[in-house]
Amino acid sequence: MRIKWLYTAPLILGAGSFAWAAPQGSAKDGKAVYDHSCKSCHGMNGEGNESLAKMMHAKILPLGSKEVQAKSDAELKKDITEGVGKMPAVKNLSVKQVDDLVAFIRSLAKK
């Protein structure tokens, strides 16, 4: 019985600590990425650039809206790196920068 515990304890303990080790982005660092790569279309605070949306015949949802916030982190990352609708992909971002950008977008959630 003791031998089984010795072999399974690291697996059980390791599984619990793995979830805590998942990488998370920094909203503060994400703001810098946003200001450089996203602000011109999505506006100063993620509310969307209305004049650009009209010109492009597109709808730019506020990033703090329920529709955007309902997306999973993976969906947001895909939208950022591959583009969605008329929004082109944001190129040349590191994995950390994308994580930071997602964290910043999450910080815009309407409360």
Structure tokens at 65: 């809206």
Is 7 a member of any domain? no
Is 8 a member of any domain? no
The total domain count for the chain is 1
CB 103 within 8 A of CB 34: no
pLDDT one digit per residue (tens) for the chain, 111 residues? 555 544 444 444 444 433 333 458 999 999 999 999 999 999 999 999 999 999 999 999 999 999 999 999 999 999 999 999 999 999 999 999 999 999 999 999 976
CB 64 within 8 A of CB 108: yes
CB 52 within 8 A of CB 60: yes
CATH of the domain at 48: 1.10.760.10
Give pLDDT, residue 4.
52
Phi-psi region of 33 (alpha: psi -120 to 50; beta: other; left: phi over 0): alpha
Give pLDDT, residue 110.
79
What is the extent of the structural domain holding 31?
A: 25-107
